[in-house]
Amino acid sequence: MAFDAARRDETPDETRLRRMVDTLVHRGPDGSGTYVAAGVALGMRRLAVIDVAGGQQPMSNETGEITVVFNGEIYNHRELRAELERAGHRLRTRSDTEVIPHLYEEHGLGFLARLNGMFAIALWDAARRQLLLARDKIGVKPLFWSRRDGRLCFGSEVKAILAADGSSRELDLVGLDQLLTFEYTASPRTLFADVHKLPPGGWLTWREGVLETGSFFAWPVAADAHDDDVERWTSLLRTTLDAAVERQMISDVPLGALLSGGIDSSILVAAMSRASAQPVRTFSIGFADRSYDELRYARLVAQRFATEHHEAVLEPRALDLVERVIRHLDQPIADFSVFPTLLVSEIARGQVTVALSGDGGDELFAGYDAYVADRLARGSLDALPAAVRRALLAVASRVPGSPAKKGLRNTVKRLLEGAALPARWGHQRWMVFLSPEQRTALYRPDFARAVAGEAERTLLSFLDNPGPDPLQRAMNCDLRFYLPEDILPKVDLMSMAVSLEARVPYLDDEVVALALALPSRLKWRRGTRKWILRRAYADVLPREILERGKEGFSIPMKSWLSREWRPLVHDLLSPDALARDGLLEPRAVARLVAEHESGRVNHSHLLWALLVFQLWKRTWADAPAAP
């Protein structure tokens, strides 16, 4: 969806609105709609999922005074519809969109807290001459906005704003520092200084040129639950998650599941199979490098539940995909898994329009390796003198990493690298990819001064959250930071690139509420992460799936950068290419490249982040118009 708000006495340029809408055709190939009046223009591209014939947007209430465009799904729209009809509202369609203007009539801004779903909403109140923007509680659906020359623009992707000349394209240096440090930016920042993300659970109003922002959602504080009734918690978890899966299977178009073979997606397939009278359609991606390949596990699950299974293998020639990926990353993310996410989405789109994904399970049920590393560090490594930790890191740095995905050598190296970083960074020490020493060597003086201390302040702001124990506080950090700024936008952008709607049942309101009420000691018990989740589905999942550790959805980037993708590295990170910006030290970058290609040090995360920035800048910041 896209929007252009001008002054009260000015009718926005409909041609400009059409340009904005046309940039988003991949998000909605099934139709488009616009609403243009004095001071406002709304546009929408639709992916038809619910009420295919009757759900066209924009959509208004009975009087036409409240008009909405909306991206996402409202999973409790049937219950809300019944409530509205009892209150006397007349709804004309079966679409979930239609409940939004009527709920706004009843509850004003308070209607947002009543929605269980993923959404980005724009609502025009003609009587008050006010625009309302809102984004779902967790941040599943994106929403960007800018204010320039007296106009407000917004879009589901940054490219819509660029198409309306809604940005000066000036680089946000703090945003760039965040990208290189975390592999993503933290709301409200993007890489453009005048383009902003609306934060998860956030709202924005624009009335007669006055802009206000706020939040309709506050994370509930995870309690120190003393109830260790395992049977009760296990039963409640399975019932709640099964209900969420069934709720999110509502669709008038074909639906399937993205199956990695991990515990989270395997549970989804189990729950879908139980709720469906037809075989579930499942989709998986694999790699020629066996240490990265999980297809054997996905096949086990597909066989157990007799799914209609589809899979493909991602090869190093995926370099052909780089330009395509960057065109969809107009707000860049340097997460390697954009590639397999795009490919598995493309396979799925050949068969279905909607796919359920297992994202959110790690943050809610303690799945990440970083939680293990944090516990080890607090238990032993942090007690060592700093000089001893630095010495261990020096020894580890001389040990060549393994080309395999994990393995003991790689795990020990990563643990020691993180332990050398400040203890106050908590578990995020193993989730950042630019150390203070690297930043000093890499950044030119003006860049370094402009961003001094900003990344750490951002990190500490998310780590400082209420929780009964260190593990829950770490998970709270990832729910607020890593999940909505990396995982969810990656899945949204790569699935929407091929017109596939990805849904996330683990982030259903009722599942999140239950997960936050669960004692941490039931999430990680006797050395097993996601203990309660595994136990809840132990009677239906294959033993090999239940006993698996965390693998992660990644690619063999470290070897690809040294071999198949080496020409790309030397082109984009050459001294000449870097010197033009005056931001990075060419010699420091050349040293990173040389160390990586020699196999002495794995710099794949940092090198890929640098490549993403260079490609993004060439495609979006330096281009005279949006591609």
Q: Which residues pair with 73 in a beta bridge?
A: 118
What CATH number does residue 51 fall under? Answer: 3.60.20.10
Look at residue 398 in the predicted model and tell me its pLDDT: 64
Grade residue 228 by pLDDT with cuts at 50, 70 and 90: confident
380, 373 contact by CB (below 8 A): no
pLDDT at 481 over 80: yes
Regarding whether 259 and 162 lie in a shared domain, the answer is: no
Residue 121 lies in a domain: yes
pLDDT of residue 29 exceeding 80: yes
DSSP string, 278-303: SPPEEEEEEESSTTT--HHHHHHHHH
Asked whether residue 108 falls in the same domain as residue 237, the answer is: no
391 within some domain: no
Q: Give the range of the structural domain holding residue 539, as residue numbers without chain letter.
A: 231-366+472-546
The residues that bridge with 46 in the sheet, in sequence order, are: 29
Q: Both 125 and 78 in a single domain?
A: yes
How much is the average pLDDT of 516-544? 94
The tally of domains found in the chain comes to: 2
Q: Are 527 and 365 in contact (CB under 8 A)?
A: no
Going by C-alpha positions, the residue among 433, 417, 415, 403 that lies closest to residue 334 is 433
Whole-model pTM over 0.75: yes
User: Which among 177, 74, 229 has a CA at the least distance from the CA of 455?
Assistant: 177
Check whether residue 38 and residue 144 sit in a common domain: yes
Q: Is residue 111 predicted with pLDDT exceeding 80? A: yes
- The residues that bridge with 224 in the sheet, in sequence order, are none
Q: How confident is the model at residue 11 (pLDDT cuts 50, 70, 90)?
A: confident
Question: Could you give the count of Cα atoms lying within 13 Å of 212 in the half-sphere of its Cβ?
Answer: 9
Q: Do 84 and 96 form a contact (C-beta atoms < 8 A)?
A: no
For residue 5, is pLDDT > 70?
A: no
User: Do 6 and 124 sit in the same domain of this protein?
Assistant: yes
209 and 286 share a domain?
no
**Residues 208, 246: one domain?**
no
Give the number of other Cβ atoms within 10 Å of residue 579's Cβ. 12
DSSP 584: B
Residue 410 pLDDT > 80:
no
Average pLDDT over residues 209-225: 85
Confidence of residue 189 (pLDDT cuts 50, 70, 90): very high
Q: Is the pLDDT of residue 133 over 60?
A: yes
- Distance separating alpha carbons of residues 286 and 268, to the nearest angstrom: 19
**Three-state SS for 251?**
coil
Q: Where is the domain boundary, 494, 519, 546?
A: 546
* Together in a domain, 209 and 300: no
Q: Which DSSP state fits 462?
A: H
User: In 191-294, where does DSSP find H-type helix?
Assistant: 230-248, 263-275
Same domain, 7 and 151: yes
Helices (H) and strands (E) in the chain, counts: 29, 19
Q: What is the mean pLDDT of residues 28-57?
A: 93
CATH number at residue 319: 3.40.50.620
Q: Classify residue 192: in a domain, yes or no.
A: no
- Going 194 to 197 to 199 to 205, the CA torsion angle's sign is positive
Same domain, 204 and 299: no
* 114-125 pLDDT per residue, tens: 999 999 999 999
Averaged pLDDT for residues 249-259: 97
Q: Are residues 356 and 495 in the same domain?
A: yes
Residue 309: pLDDT band with limits 50, 70, 90: very high
Q: Which residues contact 228 (CB under 8 A, 6 or more apart)?
A: 519, 521, 522
Three-state DSSP state, 219 = coil
Task: State the Cα–Cα distance between residues 134 and 213, nearest whole angstrom.
Answer: 10
Among residues 518, 546, 574, which one ends one of the domains? Answer: 546
The sheet with strand 32-37 has its strands ordered as 32-37, 40-45, 2-5, 151-155, 144-148, 195-197
- Res. 390 pLDDT band, cuts 50 70 90: confident
Weakest mean pLDDT among 16-30, 199-213, 326-340, 388-402: 388-402
Task: Answer whether residue 593 shows pLDDT above 60.
Answer: yes
The predicted pLDDT at position 135 comes to: 98
Report in angstroms the alpha-carbon separations of 182 from 178, 308, 321, 374, 551: 6, 37, 23, 17, 20
Domain annotation covers residue 31: yes
Residue 342 resides in a domain: yes
Indicate if the pLDDT at residue 81 is higher than 70.
yes
Categorize the per-residue pLDDT at 609 as very low, low, confident or very high, splitting at 50, 70 and 90: very high
Q: Which of 546, 564, 580 is the last residue of a domain?
A: 546
**CA–CA distances in Å: residue 430 to residues 72, 220, 375, 418:** 33, 26, 12, 5
- On average, the pLDDT of the chain sits at 91
Check residue 323 and give its pLDDT.
86
**DSSP at 548:** -
Whether residue 575 lies inside any domain: the answer is: no
Write the pLDDT tens digit of every residue in 85-107: 999 999 999 999 999 999 999 99
The predicted structure's pLDDT at residue 402? 56
Q: What is the CA radius of gyration of the chain?
A: 24
| pLDDT of 552 | 57
Are the C-beta atoms of residues 167 and 37 closer than 8 Å to each other? no
Whether 116 is in a domain gets the answer yes
- 385 vs 432, more confident: 432
Instruction: State whether residue 339 is helix, strand or coil.
Output: helix
Residue 465 is assigned to a structural domain of this protein: no
| pLDDT tens digits along 196-209 | 999 999 999 999 89
Same domain, 347 and 276: yes
Rounded to 5°, angle at Cα 218 from 216 and 222: 155
User: What torsion do the CA atoms of 156, 157, 160, 163 make, to the nearest 10 degrees?
Assistant: 170
**Residues in a beta bridge with 255:** 354
pLDDT at 400 over 70: no
Mean pLDDT, residues 434-454 taken together: 95
